[in-house]
Amino acid sequence: MQLLDGVLVSGHIKEQIKNETLEWQASGGKKPHLAAILVGNNPASEAYVGSKVKHCEELGFDSTLLRLSADISEADLIAEVNKLNNDDKVDGILVQLPLPAHISPDSVINAIDPGKDVDGFHPISQGRMVLGQPTFLPATPYGIMLMLEYYKIDTTGMNCVVIGRSNIVGTPMTLLMSRASNPGNATVTMCHSKTKNLKDFTRNADIIIAAIGRPRYVTADMVKEGAIVIDVGINRIDDPTKKSGSRLVGDVDFDNVAPLCSYITPVPKGVGLMTICGLMKNTLLAAKLKGK
């Protein structure tokens, strides 16, 4: 079993991004600038956005963090997005999800200038992705493709099972893995919470991508010997042995599944770090596409 090491791969990719950013600046380009909007104070969202801002500093990007109250109206939030759309200094915009229940995420995402949509969530970005046109890929699936590429894992002809059908992971992941590319060229089955006999699918999978958001949902009896397992889940569970009283686990029962695998991502230090790489690559691309 080989661990797919998010620390190693993201370190390598961040070094590439840093160098490319310096070259861009040396040729007259301006520093990439990411603007993040955080609505309310969901602790997980706080942590994710904090990490994104920290990575901007590390890579030599500018960043703006806009903190807005949980009771902001949808119209006022869209007005804030429009200000960033019209701000020439800003290259990339992300609105951290989930949003409070009274705000439609679709309406807010639709308001983002597609040229600044570094999360790749806008219908124009997603449409381009479906058609295989150059675009901003959603950060997590993009990061997973970068990881498979780094380890030179040839997925051609593999049976790939994606568990989860969200717009931000499961659906784009299914598409990218089936595309005529490597990584890609796989025969992909999308499973989800209503799939009957999930095990019948996963036991036949050469690669399982788990993005279902349920702690340790994929158990050893669901995985065939030699499979590749990519764990997208980040779930906080109680753990009285920890000082904080909790710890993070993935969607995969790592301790029991890992011995069966050819490759597996850990949680933490796996896919989460790759998501940041996808976002940062998109932000640099947005800055370059905007021009000097």
Catalytically annotated residues: 52, 96, 119
CB-wise, 74 or 206, nearer to ligand GUN? Answer: 74
Query: Is 189:206 a contact under the CB 8 Å cutoff?
Result: no
Q: 146-174 in b/e burial notation, b at 16+ Cβ within 10 A?
A: bbbebeebebeebbbbbbbbbbbbbbbbb
Instruction: Assess 139 for contact with ligand GUN (CB under 6 A).
Output: yes
Stretch touching ligand GUN by CB under 6 A, among 3-11, 90-98, 173-181, 247-255: 90-98
3-state SS, residue 259: helix
- Helices and strands in the chain: count of H runs, count of E runs: 10, 11
Stretch touching ligand GUN by CB under 6 A, among 74-82, 89-97, 151-159, 224-232: 89-97
Instruction: Assess 146 for contact with ligand GUN (CB under 6 A).
Output: no
Q: In the bound complex, what is the minimum distance in angstroms from residue 37's beta carbon to ligand GUN?
A: 9
User: Binding residue for ligand GUN (CB under 6 A) from 3, 53, 97, 124?
Assistant: 97
CA torsion sign for 109, 112, 115, 116 is negative
**Distance from C-alpha of 166 to C-alpha of 81, rounded to nearest angstrom:** 23
**Distance from C-alpha of 141 to C-alpha of 292, rounded to nearest angstrom:** 29
CA dist 174 → 24, 117, 184, 260, 276 (Å): 33, 21, 9, 23, 20
Which pair of tokens denotes residue 147?
A: 């990881």
Instruction: Assess 119 for contact with ligand GUN (CB under 6 A).
Output: yes
Q: In the bound complex, what is the minimum distance in angstroms from residue 138's beta carbon to ligand GUN?
A: 7
Stretch touching ligand GUN by CB under 6 A, among 25-33, 88-96, 203-211, 245-253: 88-96
Q: In the bound complex, what is the minimum distance in angstroms from residue 166's beta carbon to ligand GUN?
A: 9
Instruction: Assess 287 for contact with ligand GUN (CB under 6 A).
Output: no
Stretch touching ligand GUN by CB under 6 A, among 19-27, 83-91, 95-103, 201-209: 95-103
Q: In the bound complex, what is the minimum distance in angstroms from residue 278's beta carbon to ligand GUN?
A: 8
Instruction: Assess 171 for contact with ligand GUN (CB under 6 A).
Output: no
Neighbours of 35 (CB within 10 A): 26
Where on the chain is the footprint of ligand GUN (CB under 6 A)? 94-97, 119, 139-140, 168, 275
